[in-house]
Chain A
Amino acid sequence: MNADDAGARAGRTVYRIRWLPGTDRLHASCFCGAQREFEDPVVLWDWLLGHPEGHRPGRAAAQDAPAPAAALV
């Protein structure tokens, strides 16, 4: 079983969250190219929606990042 075979869609403003196989971690990628791993989906969405704050294309952090203020979830 795996989740890798679900196809990613091309799009300028597509957020993607992939559950890393064999772990409890979520890999988030923003349409701007920034990527980061999380364990908590609420913190993950806070980071994605906080765009562009804290987003640095190509940089991946190992741990959940402090959440920016904006959150609707």
Chain B
Amino acid sequence: MIVTEFARNQWYVAAYGHEVGRRQLGRTVLNEPILLWRTEDGRAVAMADRCVHRRFPLSESPSHLVGDRVVCGYHGFTYGPDGVCVAVPAQQRIPRTARLRTYPVVEQDSFVWVWIGDREPGDTLPPRAPWLVSPDYATVCGMEPLNARYGLLVDNLLDLSHETYLHGGYIGTPEVAETPITTEVDEDAGIVYVSRHMDDAACPPFYAESTGIKGRITRWQDIEYHPPCLYLLHSRVAPVGSPPPAADGTDPHAFHVEVVYAITPSTENSTYDFWAVARDFALDDEKVSDFLRDSNRTVVLQDVAALDTLEQVLAREPDRYQELSVNIDTGGLAARRLLAKMAQAGAVRPEAAAR
């Protein structure tokens, strides 16, 4: 069944780095309201987005920043970047419990990752998406909120056969749904791989217009899903007859697009759909960037519309509805299993929740 529990004690993308600045940004991750802002020396900070006094959101106006402090817009309670309250209105004594929870933050590959859990991350770091900040790639990106449970987006992205039907005219062609897939699960690393290699396929407009390829293509889709949050689609496109990648890994005859999704659960039935498209061709061509940005956003919004509808259907359904899975779902089933295992492993212990 579709995973609805949250996997805690994990890294999640809360924002792009460019979204976090000297104005407060509020995001809800795994049901936790989080305030994001940047100190004067440029450090990203994540803390609870509720004043300890009467719970007013610190991301809401007239709450504001003064230097490296956040001032609550309701009564003026003031907090430092460590979450400690440093000023209370009309009194000198600051209650010992007047502190906000702070969240470990890592800025990496253009994302601001926050750690959600009841223990510290230790040496655990978020997975990488280095193309997004590589000078060898040009990247466009965005984020669309989804009014659906995150498991629906995981299902969607692990089964690309839907491209043929939901995204026809953009990225879908008949070959996508017709080509069998290979699935691998690395239990040690906790990664799901799904590969679909098309030897002779129509070139969808998304690639024809961005690469200039006129004829048919070899099209490889190699998915790498790092549950719970990061999804990478390594896309290789080349005219039919082009040489394959060389033994040393170089591949000068093909175009490469790295599609990255960060799937961040917000609440039980809402999700942040962070998306990015990085390419290793036409790096300085703004028209190509504009085209890929517009096209990919359109594709993402097609998913959003479908999954929002699906969420409404599922919400009205009896709990024990028997769904059907077929061969194209092999990777999605693997992802669900890993997510369920992670949710079980990271479940909040009663004593931790009561702290």
| Chain A residues proximal to chain B, CB less than 8 Å | 1-9, 11-21, 24, 26, 31, 40-42, 44-45, 49, 72-73
Task: Please tell me if the beta carbons of A19 and B327 are within 8 angstroms of each other in the complex.
Answer: yes
Q: Tell me, in angstroms, the Cα distance from A61 to B196 when the chains sit together.
A: 26
Chain A interface SS verdict (over half): loop
B284 within 8 A of A: no
| Residues of chain B within 8 A of A31, CB atoms compared | 187
B180's partner among A3, A7, A8 (CB-CB below 8 A) is A3
B178 within 8 A of A: yes
B336 within 8 A of A: yes
Interchain residue pairs with CB less than 8 A apart (14): A1-B197, A2-B180, A3-B179, A6-B196, A6-B197, A9-B184, A11-B188, A13-B187, A13-B188, A14-B185, A15-B334, A19-B182, A24-B327, A41-B326
| Residues of chain B within 8 A of A14, CB atoms compared | 184-187
Task: Please tell me if the beta carbons of B333 and A42 are within 8 angstroms of each other in the complex.
Answer: yes
Chain B: minimal CB distance from A47 (Å): 13
Chain B interface SS verdict (over half): mixed
Size bracket of the B interface: 20 to 34
Closest B residue, CB atoms, query A23: B180
B84 within 8 A of A: no
Chain A: minimal CB distance from B337 (Å): 5
A3's partner among B195, B325, B326, B336 (CB-CB below 8 A) is B195
Task: Please tell me if the beta carbons of B337 and A45 are within 8 angstroms of each other in the complex.
Answer: yes
| Chain B residues proximal to chain A, CB less than 8 Å | 175, 178-189, 193, 195-201, 222, 325-327, 329-330, 333-334, 336-337, 340-341
Chain B: minimal CB distance from A10 (Å): 10
Chain B: minimal CB distance from A73 (Å): 4
Q: Tell me, in angstroms, the Cα distance from A38 to B222 when the chains sit together.
A: 23
Closest A residue, CB atoms, query B338: A72
Task: Please tell me if the beta carbons of B333 and A15 are within 8 angstroms of each other in the complex.
Answer: no
